Structure 1
Amino acid sequence: MERIDIHCHAVPPGYRQYALDNGHAQPDGMPALPAWSPEGHIALMEKLNITRSILSITSPGTHLTPTRDSHAADKTRQTNEELSDICSRHASHFSFFASLPLPSVHESIVEIDYALDHLGAVGFAVLSNANGVYMGDALLDPVFAKLNERKAIVFIHPTTCSLLGPGPGQVENVKPLAQHPRPMMEFMFDETRAIANLLLSGTVAKYADITFIMSHCGCALPPIVDRLGSFATLVGGGEDQSDGFRKLLRERFFFDLAGFPFPDQIHGLLRTLGSGGEQRLMYGTDYPFTPAKVVARCAEKMDERCKDMLNADQRLAVYSGNAMKLFGLES
């Protein structure tokens, strides 16, 4: 069955050097920046019948110098141009989500227009927090207003939890259980924190023309949606927002299945989404941070489990159809 991979990453030469120069040889506690090339990626695609991959830059992102906004903006532009060039040279295989130099507001607004109007980006990849500023923070409202104006697709990817320090540009990375790489657990919690803040702040409801993609099968969000929505009734006599949050998740979000959603995690997300929830799911590999052999094993497990859960039409929607509709791709 044909697949479209909406969660995969590129590590092009310019970005690799930028990350290494700024202390990210072992990003987020992982062993190393993985090797990556368009040719190697395409070989994996052919093996797994992936007809299109939407590339993005993952954690730690492109704003690696917290006190130098203009420098980060320049590096973000260079990285986006690298991805655009790769996609132009391999147009039948790749599209890309552009990066933004968040939390720099003006520079990000400029990059939104440039990436859409000149580079051919199909949307934007943002991290759960940008140097300690979480998605949904009022500081970022002008950025979300611009994304809303452009009716953008926003792919949210987790990163290491960061806290703002007392001084300008002071950011502390939080590393509980530091002996384990952060993507194992902490990524799931940090993206959940970001999506919760987007919902609780009213950002999702306010900017109704943005389409969001949440990574990793909803991370840790599904079990606590009711807690998030109901907690206002405990502390301020507010109204229960659980049903409203579920409606926003069903109508404004898509969810990729990168990682290890089978056999258990998928059921919690589908229960949260309700009837027709499979229409909000899309395939993802997390390659190359997930090695090719593991990607292949995950694909096999997905095939096995989905046959027990979904009919042929539903599986087709998850593997490729939902992405085709969202991104306007030809079948």
Structure 2
Amino acid sequence: MLTIDVHTHFLPQPYIDTLIRHGINWTGGVDLAPWTPEAHLRFMDDWGIDVGVLSCLAETGVYFGDQREANELARNVNDIGADVVRRHPKRFGVFGAVPLPDVDAALAEVDHIYDDLGLDGVYLVSQVDGAYVGDPKWEPVYAALDRREATVLLHPVEPKQTPELPWQHWIGEYVFDTTRVFMTLVFNGVLDRYPRINWILSHGGGAVPYLGHRLAAAPRVVEAYQELVRRPIPAYLRSVYYDVAVADSQVQVNTMVDAVGTDRMLFGTDWIYADKLFDHTRTGEHDLTQLLGAGAARRVAGDNALRILPRLAERLAERLAERLESDRG
């Protein structure tokens, strides 16, 4: 069974240096330490993961309040990621960083990601400088991604406007931020205007699968919402993808299956941030076959990802042909 981890992170030294410069010395439960492909490959081999699609982010993406810095940082980490793929083309992919909020800078980096580096897609953090993905001010970026039939990992970040809470934001607020960005995409019409973008909602879609029935009630209860949506809400839920990173309990998986089906689910680990959640002494944990059965597990583990990551599929073409031949035999 081919296993592709669509939600896994790398922290190259220039990114760590930027975090430290901004007073961030700890992120997502992990002490800051330089990422190496060797350490990542050891983790992948230990857990039977064939490919990891990397994204570079911490509590935020690449924007810390200085647009020039964001432009340079995005270019730097994307070039580093491309070099990793060149050295390990069948083990790694990369979602490139996009330096929003500036639209022109974002468009230039999208071109660099696809035309110069040949990366596998982009990641967008849920909100930048107070605006959520789906905001009309970034309309040219959605249009550019739609033209490229881009695959976009949507990743939550630390919200800027919350009360003082006695727990770290990643525990609960990330889940709600993912839900907010999905609602923004729906009610601002982005999913309708740009149907060729393959959106991936992190961490099981936050609360989206669970809240699907409640979201569907909005157009029935409030007439104004009827003009904002062109399809039944369940159709919007099934128009995006959901990774199972830190969302692969039986309850969460069953909720996703019921809400969207296994054709819309993808494997993810959230490594390195979730490193301590991968423990071989916990028998059966992260076992897709045990959670879903063999056929569905194969779809979620890798087949669905290949469908929306064509450049990765091309790099794996020889291996996929061998697998097909083996299946026929």
Identify the match of residue 101 of structure 1 among 99, 102, 110: 99
Q: Distance in 2 between matches of 1:212 and 1:82?
A: 24
* Total equivalences in the alignment: 312
**What secondary structure, in the 3-state scheme, does the structure 2 residue paired with 1:185 have?**
helix
Paired position in structure 2 for 1:5:
5
Residues 298 and 128 (structure 1 numbering): CA distance in 2 closer, same or farther, change over 3 Å? farther
Matches of 2:281 and 2:237 in 1, distance apart? 29
From 306, 311, 316, give the equivalent of 2:298: 316
The residue number in structure 2 matching 1:229 is 216
Native 8 Å contact 2:13 2:35 kept in 1: no
Deviation at 1:209, TM superposition (A): 1.3
Find the aligned partners of 2:271 and 2:285 in 1 and give their Cα distance: 16
Q: 2:119 is matched with which residue: 118, 121, 144?
A: 121
The residue that corresponds to 1:167 in the other structure is: none
Q: How far off its partner does 1:60 sit?
A: 3.0
Q: Distance in 2 between matches of 1:249 and 1:2?
A: 26
1:117 partner SS: helix
TM-score of the aligned structures, taking structure 2 as reference length: 0.87
On the 8 A contact 1:59/1:127 being kept in 2, the answer is no
Assess, with a 3 A threshold, how the Cα gap between structure 1 residues 18 and 280 changes in structure 2: closer, same or farther: same
Alpha carbons 1:59, 1:158 under 8 Å: kept: no
Give the equivalent residue in structure 1 for 2:18. 18
How much does 1:35 deviate? 4.9
Q: Normalised by the size of structure 1, how large is the TM-score?
A: 0.87
Residue 323 of structure 1 aligns to a residue in which SS?
A: helix
Give the alignment of 1:115-154 within 5 angstroms.
115-154=113-152
After superposition, the C-alpha distances for 1:66-111 in whole angstroms (9 at most, x for unaligned) are 2x32221111111111111122122221110001111111100110
Sequence identity (%): 27
Among 183, 186, 197, which residue is 2:184 paired with? Answer: 197
Aligned-partner Cα distance in 2 for 1:128–1:299: 34
Two-structure CA RMSD over aligned residues (Å)? 2.3
Q: Which moved more, 1:135-144 or 1:293-302?
A: 293-302
Paired AA for residue 8 in structure 2 = C
Per-residue CA deviations over 1:104-139 (Å, capped at 9, x if unaligned) read 111001100111011121101111111211011111
Aligned to 2:156: 158
Contact 2:62 2:97 in 1 (8 A): no
Counterpart residue identity of residue 312, structure 1: A
Q: Distance in 2 between matches of 1:64 and 1:124?
A: 15
Structure 2 Cα separation of the partners of residues 74 and 226 of structure 1: 43
Matches within 5 A, 1:198-217: 198-217=185-204
Inter-CA distance 25–237: structure 2 relative to 1 (3 Å threshold): closer
Q: What SS does the corresponding residue of 2:94 show, helix, strand or coil? A: strand
Which AA in structure 1 matches 2:237?
L
Greater CA deviation, 204-213 or 285-294?
Answer: 285-294
Matches within 5 A, 1:1-331: 1-27=1-27, 30=29, 32-66=31-65, 68-163=66-161, 174=162, 176-177=164-165, 179-236=166-223, 238-239=225-226, 244-250=232-238, 252-273=239-260, 277-291=261-275, 294=278, 300-303=284-287, 306-307=289-290, 310-328=292-310, 329=313, 330=317, 331=320
- 1:242 Cα deviation from its structure 2 partner: 9.8
Asked if 2 retains the 8 angstrom alpha-carbon contact of 1:229 and 1:242, the reply is no
Unaligned regions of 5+ residues in structure 2, if any? 321-329
